[in-house]
Amino acid sequence: MAQLEIRSQAGRNLTGGDGLKTYATKVDAGAVWVDIVEAPPAERQARALINLREAFDDETYDRIARELARFSKAGGDPVKAVAHAVGWSHDRLEFGTTHAYPAAAGWLRLHDESNDPEMRLICLLEAIGYMAWGAAGEEVYAYPEAASPWEEVSFLAAVEAEDEAEALARVRGALAAGLGFADLERALSTAALRHYADFGHSLIYVLHTGRLITRLGRAVEAPLLLALVRSLVAASREDLIPEFRAYGEARRAFPAFGGGGALPDSAVLRGRPVKETLAHVVDAAATTAPEPLYRALLGAAAQDMLTFDTRWGTRTDNSIAQNVGWLDFTHGLTFANAVRQQCAKHPELWPAGLLQIACFTGRNAGFTTPDGDGDWRVDDRDAFYAACIRKIADHGEDRYILSAHLLKTFLAVREEVAAGLPAEIEAAVLASLNRFLNAPLKLKHVRRIAHQALDFVALED
């Protein structure tokens, strides 16, 4: 029988990073005595967390899974490991919050809904793995320590001026005064919607940062708020580029909402350039309440997904401005979900939120076909949701950005349906998710990048 070779040094395993279990031994009267008493649970939990930090810093996905399993086996609450991962990662994000933290909020929701040990481990592994991916190899981007008294007006002015130090000082002052996310949520949402910021990511980040803080507790409040505010300051302002410049004019022209409850025609709110779409929203607002207008825009975004011309996602001869793929379309739904949630709490933000949904539908109009590519209707909603969760739990994507979008689009659709939608809009929203989850995704555009590089450099002559 072949001998099992264990590479070790002083009892330490050198392969895979896993620590070998060792026991105290002694030789007495020619006999070897081994003390097989397990270390106390608290000691084993502490060891697992130390090892998890090593795996996190090395971004070793399978070892992260094993250390989470060991921590749980030792009686620890593995959700607490997600809170530790926030602390390990938040100051290694140069531009603040990324998709990793909103995705973690979503993974924890699926974790809490499941009794399956494998599913629960998957959710924690994906949440922590994404944070490790974003932090791996990064230097520490320290947050300024100064604190100033919390003033919402001063905070918003600092974000608008892209003054990170001042904005963070106001947040530190709020925390020092005992305030938390709930107290700052209106200001954060307002800052996120002051511009069509980072293609809608800013408001999505606000919504899910709040949820992650609620789930993990006060210990993560400061690091998550600091990362969120850094991202708000650094966010690109899409409304300042020519394609979306009509947004500012539409926002200034936005009327007081009418009281009508009739649902506007979704077809009028899609298939047109950005400027025309914004004008239609402004006109519709004068005769309707925000919620029906929101539902019509959500229906338009869903129809866009159903008619996305997927050839744009695989073409190699398009310009940089035509780099459009599935994620551009899913943002119409996930951003709309964030708009409904945040504007319901802070109704003064409805005009900005609705117009920015219109920016999505206007931008996507040029990349759709008159008809879709099949029948994606969902007949059994509960069975469909179960199938979605099975796919998300074993997604097979090697890029976290893709698995995060599968997750957050599913959760957004499920929330919007649960909130109540007219039958035709519910059907479109579910069908659009069905199409997306079954769509092949091109992960790398080799020829397209080469084509665009040559075109770009040619302009430099």
Structural domain containing residue 201: 152-235
278 inside domain: yes
146 inside domain: no
Q: What is the mean pLDDT of the chain?
A: 92
Does 50 share its domain with 157?
no
Calculate what percentage of the chain has a pLDDT beyond 90. Answer: 79
- Overall average pLDDT of the 247-267 stretch: 93
411 inside domain: yes
Does 382 share its domain with 436?
yes
Structural domain total, the chain: 3
3-class state of residue 415 by DSSP: helix
- Overall average pLDDT of the 436-454 stretch: 82
Residue 52 near residue 81, CB atoms below 8 Å? yes
Where are the alpha helices (H) located in 32-163, listed in sequence order? 41-58, 61-73, 79-89, 100-113, 117-135, 152-160
- Overall average pLDDT of the 405-421 stretch: 98
- Final residue of a structural domain among 83, 110, 135: 135
Position 244 pLDDT exceeds 50:
yes
- Final residue of a structural domain among 71, 103, 135: 135
Does 254 share its domain with 227?
no
Q: For position 4, what pLDDT does the model report?
A: 39
Does 231 share its domain with 245?
no
Does 416 share its domain with 368?
yes
Does 129 share its domain with 261?
no
142 inside domain: no
Does 290 share its domain with 385?
yes
Q: Phi/psi at 438 (nearest 5 deg)?
A: -105, 10
Position 28 pLDDT exceeds 50:
yes
Provide the β-strand partners of residue 35: 24
- Final residue of a structural domain among 101, 135, 169: 135
14 inside domain: no
408 inside domain: yes
Amino acid at position 156, single letter: L
Does 59 share its domain with 120?
yes
Does 263 share its domain with 355?
yes
pLDDT, tens digit, for every residue of 45-94? 999 999 999 999 999 999 999 999 999 999 999 999 999 999 999 999 99
pTM as predicted: 0.92
Does 270 share its domain with 182?
no
Residue 429 near residue 299, CB atoms below 8 Å? yes
310 inside domain: yes
Does 70 share its domain with 205?
no
Q: For position 7, what pLDDT does the model report?
A: 43
Q: For position 14, what pLDDT does the model report?
A: 56
Does 99 share its domain with 168?
no
Distance between CA 269 and CA 199 in Å, rounded? 19
250 inside domain: yes
- Overall average pLDDT of the 112-120 stretch: 96
